[in-house]
A and B are shown apart, each in its own frame.
Chain A
Amino acid sequence: MNRAAALLAAALLAAMIAAAPAAIVLDQPYLLFLFQQIAILAIAAVGLNLVLGYAGLPAFGHAAFVGIGAYTVGIAAAESGGTGLLASGWVQVPLAAVLAATIGALIGSVSLRTRGVAFLMITLAFGQMLYYGAVSLERYGGDDGMNLVAPTQFGTFALSRGLGAYVAALIVLLVALYVSFRLSRSPFGAVLRGAAANERRMLAVGVSVFRYRVTAFALSGALCGIAGVLAANHSGFVSPASMGWTRSVELAVMVLLGGAGTTFGPLFGAAAFVLLEEALSGVSEHWRIVFGPLLLLIVIAAPGGIAGLLGRGRNG
């Protein structure tokens, strides 16, 4: 473990925990909103990191899995009217995770038969297929999306905006980071990382790399699906825009910016991305002209991302 990266992650997580009372004391709910956005994007980035980082596969359609999670909540809420079994988080969250994992495994089992640019294009194409699938859901707002009829309910606790939802997002983020940490150090993670270095060599020692990678796709999809549940509740809105290819590229940029294949890289990347976006958008309305090249510059100057800049140890 890279000590500097672990310290920065601890500081960042401490700041995220401190943001909750700070937002209340300073009466700045936007602070909570911003940090919750970081937490949710970090969870999705942790999911993508399993495939893009550890397995070294350039997947560019992961926003679709976030969308599957979001639409699961949106549709369940719309159909249940916010009451009954379908409105329950105990149903919505597992359903979103299982759906995203299943579709992830299906996409993985097809796209993993290709390599390089073809793989990238197929994952992108699958992502866009799901995007257009969401656009075609006229009953659920089509291209315009839909408002969330009711937040996800865990008994009397509603996963809508506010302190409770923020704490829930933080807990999910901590669990996601822990799962990613444990997976990366397990034989499963070793196979993914070893195959990223040399797939042929891994096959020659008797490992079915394909199965491991499909499993990584499924786990990755599940994490992104759970991020989608949180995102839908966070914004109170579900729309195809959140699952388009630009969103997928943003997630990939977060992983690369923070440090692909490292435990805390996705957290660093999501935080840097959101805070940079926030800072620049406050300066000028043409902030994207600066934002894009700046991200490009950072990724080129620090190919190991923020975790790499801190001195990359074993798995960041």
Chain B
Amino acid sequence: MRPLLRLEGVEAGYGAARVLNGVSFDIGASEVVALMGRNGMGKTTLVRAILGLAPWVRGRVLFDGRELRGHPTFRIARAGIGLVPEGRQVFPNLTVRENLDATAANRAKNPAPWTIDRVVAMLPQLAARMSAMASTLSGGEQQMLSIGRALMTNPALLVLDEATEGLSPALRAEIWQCLATLQRQGQSILLIDKHVAAMRGLADRIVILEKGRVAWRGTPDTLTDDVLQRTLGV
């Protein structure tokens, strides 16, 4: 079966600095892939390369069989890649409802599209805050909003870059719960996070990056402590 996202020898960087040195892996439909790696190994750069946000990218980035390289960022996102960026990055000058409304897309393509009601049912913390400015939300609420905003684009692939960073254990647990629900609904997810145990519990497959290359790949049950120690230092 054709993968939803296929990366073939992806190289990317900033100016003369090369961060990715030929990354290749696939994400299938309804599959959750966890991308791990120490800081500075190229995880966020890979996300940026997929979305056309990296200054330069080489190799092939195929989404649903179509090459994404060379397309503007908004078109790549509109093709069906929903990003929950590092640092939440909600629109602070918009209300919660406006944050969700402004990014709603791809409804016609989806038989059961995400709507504000459906997002609020999934993320009930937002219900009472719909008219609040996003800048007044707590960190956890902003993260929920960021996930809701990505879902409103009705993505075929949801990309979460450090979605639980800086959150309390209780809020982290809520987000993992939410992701598990999405997984059960058949949502494809590319997950980047520092919480290895939670990622192992959720992911169908794991890819570990080291110095801009895939250092290890496999299923969670084949990820040994030795590999973790060697690649992540944990």
Contacts and interface: CB of A to CB of B under 8 A. Distances in A.
A183 to B, nearest CB: 12
B73 A204 contact: yes
A203 B94 contact: no
Given A190-B101, A204-B73, A206-B75, 20 more contacts: A187-B98, A187-B104, A193-B91, A193-B93, A193-B94, A193-B98, A197-B94, A201-B85, A202-B74, A202-B102, A203-B73, A204-B51, A204-B74, A204-B83, A205-B149, A206-B103, A206-B106, A206-B153, A208-B74, A208-B78
Contact of A206 (B74, B92, B94, B95): B74
B173 to A, nearest CB: 26
A198 B134 CA distance: 14
A200 B54 CA distance: 12
Contacts of A197: 91-94
Which range holds the interface residue count of chain B? 20 to 34
Contacts of A200: 53, 73
B225 to A, nearest CB: 36
Contacts, number: 74
A314 interface: yes
B103 A207 contact: yes
Given A187-B101, A190-B101, A205 B93 contact: no
A278 to B, nearest CB: 35
Contacts of A314: 95, 133
B206 interface: no
Nearest to A191: B102
Main secondary structure, interface of A, reads helix
Interface of A: 185, 187, 190-191, 193-194, 196-198, 200-209, 314
A205 B153 contact: yes
Contacts of A198: 89, 91
Contact of B150 (A202, A203, A205): A205
4 closest residue pairs by CB, A with B:
A206-B77, A190-B102, A190-B98, A194-B91
B102 A187 contact: yes
A7 to B, nearest CB: 20
Nearest to B72: A203
A201 B73 CA distance: 10
Contacts of B95: 314
B44 to A, nearest CB: 12
